[in-house]
Chain A
Amino acid sequence: MSSPSKRREMDLMKLMMSDYKVELINDGMQEFYVHFHGPSDSPYDGGVWRIRVELPDAYPYKSPSIGFINRIYHPNVDEMCGSVCLDVINQTWSPMFDLVNVFEVFLPQLLLYPNPSDPLNGEAAALMMRDRSAYELRVKEYCQKYAKPEDAGATAEEKESDEELSEDEYMSDDEMAGQADP
C-alpha cells in the first residue's frame, strides 16, 4: 500500500472539517469516536449517538468497522454491543468512499432503510416487517432513553461546551415534541 497514512489523514481531516465531533484514540488513526445525529426524516431524529469507528489495516480497500456505543434499536445493529452488521457495509464499500461518505450518506441510509433480509437484531426486523408504526414507536423510545446528547457526551470539557446548547435544545424538544407514550 502506498502511503497508507496519507489517505487516513485526509479522510480524518475531511471528517473534522465537515463539523463532526471527532475524538481520536491514542493518535494511531486506527480508532476514533464520532458523534452522530439521527437523520431528520427518520424515527431516529433527535437522537445523538457516539459511534466508534475502526479503520482496518487494509483501509481504504476494506470497509471500516462501525459500532454504536450507546444503544440503538435497529434491525442491523446489535442491541447489546452496538456493532453494525458488517455485511451491510461490505457489500457496498468501494475504496473511493471516505469517512464523510459514511456519516453523510451511508449511515443515514442505513437508519432510514434498514435491511431486514440479514438482521442482527431479529426482533427489530420482525417488528419492522409486521407493524411499522409500532417499530417507529419503539425506536423513538430507545432514542429518548439512550440517545440523548448527554448519553453521547464523553469528557467533562466537552460536556461543558455542549451543555449550554444541548440544554436549550432539550428544553425546546420537550415542549414541542412531547413524550411518546408506549
Chain B
Amino acid sequence: MPSGACKISSLDSSRISSISPKLPPPRRKTPKKSSVDTCQPVDVHHGVAEAGPSNSPSSGESPAEKEKLLETDNRVSESKYEICDGSGGGGAVDVMSVLEELALAAAEEELELSADQIRVNDQLQENELLAMESIYGENVIIRDRQRGLRTFQIHIEPKIHDELTIATKLCTTSNKMEMASTSSLDEFSYSFGVQFLPPIVLTCSFPASYPSHKPPRFTISVQWLDSLKISSLCSVLDSIWMELQGQEVMYQWIDWLQSSSLSYLGIHQQIILGPYGIKAIGDRRAVSESISPDSDIPLLMRYNDEQVRESFLNNLHECCICFSEHPGIDFVRLPCQHFFCRSCIGTYSDLHVSEGTVNKLLCPESKCGGMIPPSTMKHFLGDDKYVRYESLMLQKTLDCMSDAVYCPRCEFVCIEDEDHFAQCSKCFFSFCSLCKSARHVGEPCISPESKLQLLEASLVSASRITGAQRRLELENKINDIIRELENRINEIMSEMEVARVCKICPHCKMAISKIDGCNKMVCGSCGKYFCYLCNKPINGYEHFRGGACKLFQTVSPDQWQERTNGRRAVSRLRSELNQERTNGRQALRRLRSELNLGRGHKCPLCSQENVKTDNNNHVFCWACQTHYCYLCRKVVKRSSEHFGPKKCKQHTAG
C-alpha cells in the first residue's frame, strides 16, 4: 500500500473508502533577501512593480545638509513606490527589505567617520537599546543584525481614551473607474467601537553614524491607517530628529507615536478606514497593512476582543455577589455576558440542585434570566449531583408541559390531545389520561367502583379457564419474554462491539472501524476528514504536523493498558450477559416444568398417551402394560437396575 493511503471499513461492508494519496504541501513563498555584497538595487518585493532604472541620489554629499539628504531619500523612495492595487501587494511588504533598500540607497553617502566616533556611537546605541528594553519590555523585539547594524522592532500601542469608533464606507461597485463617480446611494458605512488598536510597528536600524550624524533608518507599519497618513507620521519623526540632531532620538519618537500620533492625525473619536484601491504615492517608509474592509474589520475586531479579554483576565474585579476581589481568571462568564466568581456560582448551583429548585438556576443578575449552560453546571457539580440535576430538569420540564402524561403500561411519556386521549408511541396503547384505562370514545370515564367490579369479574373468569387454555397463555407469554430478552441481548452485544472497534465520524456520526493505514480518515458516508486518534474533524495533514496526533502511530504502553482495561470491561459485561442468559433459561425451564405437570407423552411401544405422575420417571403404560423410563424411553425391567445416581434419575421435575 502506498504510504499515506488508508483503508477504512465500517460495520456496513458496502461502505469502503480510501484516502487520496498525500498531496505535496503548498509551496510557501519566501521573500528573497538581497545578498549583502551586491550594491545594485534588486527587486525584492513580489507584487510590486520594479519602477524605473536604478537611481543614485544626485546630490547631498555634504554631511551637514541632512535635510537635503532626507529629501533625496524621499524622492528615491517615491519614484520606486507604487501600490498597484489595494487588495494585492500591501500586506506582503516585508519591512526588512524596505530597510535594506533604504540602507542601500543611503550606502553611497556613508560618511567617513573616525574610529573613535564610531566607537562612541556604538556605545550610545548599545545603551539606548538597553534603556528601551527596560522601559518597554516585551514590546521591543531585537532582530538579527542587518549588514552588521542593530535592527529592532517596537510595538507601540496608541493610547485610547475610552472608546474609538472605527468606520468604513463600503461601496457596492468594485470597478475602480466608477469609484470616483459613485453616488452616495451605493455607499453605506459600517462602524463599531474598539478599546484596543493593533500596535504601530516601528522597525528601526541604526546606521554607524547614529546618533552623531544620521538618524536611524525606520519603517512605520500600521494595520489601520493608509499610507498617506503614515507618511505624515514619518515626516513628523524626521522633524523630531531635526530638532535633536546629534542626540538619541528613539525615546522621543516612541513617546510621540504613543501619545500624540492619533491627535496629530486628527483622530479623536473616530477612525475611518481606507481609502482602498487608490494609487497612493507616499513615503517609502510608510507601510500600510490595510488591505480591504473584508480583512481589516474582522482583524481589528478580533484584536480588540482578545485584548479586552486579556485585560479582563489580568485585572482584579469585584464579584457582585460576594463583593470580594478576584483576578479575572477566577471568574466565570455566562453566555449572557454576566460574570461572577467561581465560588459564588459553585455555591449557587450546589444549593439549588440540593434543594431541587433547578428552575431558579438562572443568571443571578437581576432581570437577566439568562440560562446557565449545562456544561458550566457539570463543571461545578460533582458527577452525582450532575445526574440529579439532569433528572430534576427533565422532571420539571415535563411538569411544565401540561399535556404530557405517562403511559399506564410502560411509563413512557406521551402527549394527550384535547379529549384527554393519548397513544403511547412505545407500546402503542391507546388510553384515556383521566382514568388511565383503555380509550373509550364517546363513553364517560369509568368510575373507580365499576373498575373494581370489572376486575373482580375478570378474576373469576380467569380462574375458570381450563388447564389447557392457561397453559397456552403462559407459554405464549414466556415465548414473548424470551424473544424480548434475546433481542435486547443482541442489541447490547452489537453496541459493545461498535464501541470496542469503531470510532464515530464527527460529522455524520457513522461508526467507522480502521483496518489498516494512517490516521487521516475519510468518512465513507459523508466524505469529510477526521483524525482517528482524537476523533476531531480536520482539514488535511496540517493536523498531524502539530505533534499531538501522529499520522502513523504505534500503540504506546499507556494506550495498551487502556485497551486491555477496555477488553476487561467488555469481557466482564459479556460474562454478565451470559449469567443473565443462564438465569433466563433456568427460569424458563422452571416455568416449562410447571406446565409439563400433567402433560401427556407417548408410550415408546404403543404410542399411547401417558401422564407422568409425582415427578416419577418410571411410567407404567396403561394401554400395553409396559414399564418404561420417561427420560430415555427404554423399557424398564427392574426399577432399581435402571434408575440410580449414575443412571437415569428416578425423580425429576419436567
Contact = CB atoms under 8 A, between A and B. Distances in A.
Interface of A: 1-4, 6-7, 10, 58, 60-62, 94-97, 101
Q: Which of B321, B344, B348, B351 has the most CB of A within 10 A?
A: B321
Contacts of B366: 94, 96-97, 101
A33 B344 CA distance: 27
A10 B348 CA distance: 19
A10 B323 CA distance: 8
Given A2-B344, A96-B365, A60 B324 contact: no
Nearest to A11: B323
Contact count band on B: 10 to 19
A53 B322 CA distance: 19
A60 B343 CA distance: 13
B322 A62 contact: no
Main secondary structure of the interface of A (DSSP, over half): loop
Interface string B317-338: 0001111100000000000000
Nearest to B351: A61
A82 to B, nearest CB: 26
Contacts of B351: 58, 61-62
A47 B446 CA distance: 58
Given A60-B322, A94-B365, 6 more contacts: A1-B347, A2-B343, A3-B323, A58-B347, A94-B364, A101-B366
Nearest to B350: A61
Contacts of A97: 366
Q: Which of B323, B347, B351 has the most CB of A within 10 A?
A: B323
Contact of B348 (A3, A61, A101): A61
Nearest to B338: A96
Nearest to B365: A96
A3 B322 contact: yes
A3 B364 contact: no
Closest 5 CB pairs of A and B: A2-B343, A95-B364, A95-B321, A96-B366, A61-B351
Contacts of B341: 2
Contact of A96 (B343, B347, B364): B364
Given A94-B366, A96-B365, A96-B366, A61 B323 contact: no
B332 to A, nearest CB: 13
Given A58-B351, A61-B348, A2 B322 contact: yes
Given A94-B365, A95-B364, A61 B347 contact: yes
B320 A96 contact: yes
Contacts of A58: 347, 351
A154 B137 CA distance: 65
A60 B365 CA distance: 13
Nearest to B330: A2
Contacts of A95: 321, 344, 348, 364
A95 B338 CA distance: 13
A94 B357 CA distance: 13
B345 to A, nearest CB: 10
A94 B364 CA distance: 5
8 contacts: A1-B343, A3-B322, A6-B324, A10-B323, A62-B351, A95-B321, A96-B364, A101-B366
Contacts of B322: 1-4, 6-7, 60
B357 to A, nearest CB: 8
A84 B366 CA distance: 21
A2 B323 CA distance: 10
Nearest to A62: B351
A60 B351 CA distance: 11
Nearest to B345: A95
Interface in B275-290: none
B323 to A, nearest CB: 5
B23 to A, nearest CB: 55
B518 to A, nearest CB: 51
A141 B366 CA distance: 36
Interface string B362-403: 001110000000000000000000000000000000000000
